[in-house]
Copies of this chain bind each other. A is one copy, B any other.
Amino acid sequence: MTKAIRVCLVGAGRAGQVHAESLTRHIPEGKLTALVDPNTTALESVGTKFSVEARFTALSEAIDRVPVEAVVITTPTCTHRELAVLAASRGKHVFCEKPMALTIEECDEMIAAAERYAVILQLGFMRRFDPDFQAAAARIEAGEIGQPMLIKSLTHGPGLPPPWARDLRTSNGMLAEVNSHDWDAVRWLAHSDPERVYAQVSNFKGAKHGVDTPHFYDTALVNVRFVSGGMAYISGVCPCDYGYDARVEIVGEKGLLQIGDVRGQSVVVCTSREHGLVTPIYRSWPERFASAYVREMKHFLECVRTESQPSVNGHDGRWAVAGVLAATTSFLDERSVRVAEVLEKAAEPSGVNR
């Protein structure tokens, strides 16, 4: 067996722990060598949980002190640019969680840094590594359902996001934090870039949860039109009390293709004819995409080992950010928005002050 790639993980939150678990329990070819988090409580607790001795509050210090080949970034979105550029400039390969960044300019800086320092920049769109999504994409690629005409992608997730993740000024809100995966998936499956976007949002549950963040929304419905003439909708609901739900349905010129299932287990129980048949649902994203998280990290380590480009990169992350920005402008201005508007001006949605 070849030598394990040494990894420094930045961010001891939920996503960080998913990757820590992959690296320590499921992936012999990687080794979690250092952990970074400014929150020392989380740092100690997660460091202990995964037996990582080298713990730091800043990435620069970790890189100075511990030899690693790669950095995995799972911190809040607003920190991605700085961390990724730093890692790249020190010659470390970068795996960056979604959303890539807050603005197109930040994305451009990250892409430029990875190119300049000749390191890998892989984005955390794990659906690209889910066996169901991969099988479906291969069949679309093979022409089985013809050209995609309609793509319907949804992500509904439980749990109120933390304040920074629901505030447009610090995160671009739910369309970015929850639906980034849909933005990437519809473009991937459409084989075409988005051209025009129309979005509507609603706030049904904010008051109940005591949320007073401006522009807060918990429900979103987005229309996307692609250059190909194909169309997509993306729907987002968060907090979604019924479970974690991520599915895609594609109508192509020749047929229908569905990816994913609400059902989270192949176990069915019925104990009352009044009540009916019950199947467990996926309860969380780490459960739904368990194997995809392992597989994306294996892909990253394999790219590092073989010095090859990952199948999903900064350009993909940038398109997702562009979609989010166009959609945010759309619902704020109550009009449809061309994505070029966002890309050309690298504009921010009007009415949001950061």
Residues in A lying within 8 Å of B, measured CB to CB = 1, 24-29, 51, 131-132, 135-136, 139, 144-145, 147, 149-150, 152, 156, 158, 196, 198, 200, 202-205, 218-219, 221, 223, 225, 229-231, 233, 235, 237, 240-245, 251, 253-273, 275-281, 283, 291, 334-336
Residues of B within 8 A of A144 (CB): 269, 271
Contact A253 B24 (CB under 8 A): no
* A131 to B280 alpha-carbon distance, docked (Å): 12
* A271 to B225 alpha-carbon distance, docked (Å): 24
Q: Which 6 A-B pairs have the closest CB atoms?
A: A255-B271, A243-B273, A258-B268, A261-B266, A276-B280, A242-B255
**A2 nearest CB neighbor, chain B only:** B51
Contact A266 B270 (CB under 8 A): no
Residues of B within 8 A of A334 (CB): 336
Residues of B within 8 A of A278 (CB): 275-278
Contact A231 B240 (CB under 8 A): no
* A29 to B149 alpha-carbon distance, docked (Å): 45
Closest CB of chain B to A305's CB: distance in Å? 14
Contact A271 B145 (CB under 8 A): yes
Contact B255 A269 (CB under 8 A): yes
Contact B279 A254 (CB under 8 A): no
Closest CB of chain B to A127's CB: distance in Å? 12
Residues of B within 8 A of A257 (CB): 267-269
Contact B270 A256 (CB under 8 A): yes
* A133 to B304 alpha-carbon distance, docked (Å): 37
Contact B198 A272 (CB under 8 A): no
Closest CB of chain B to A260's CB: distance in Å? 5
Residues of B within 8 A of A336 (CB): 198, 334-336
**A149 nearest CB neighbor, chain B only:** B219
Contact B28 A265 (CB under 8 A): no
Contact B259 A270 (CB under 8 A): no
Contact B258 A244 (CB under 8 A): no
Residues of B within 8 A of A200 (CB): 196, 198, 223, 225, 231
Contact B256 A269 (CB under 8 A): yes
Residues of B within 8 A of A221 (CB): 150, 223, 231, 233
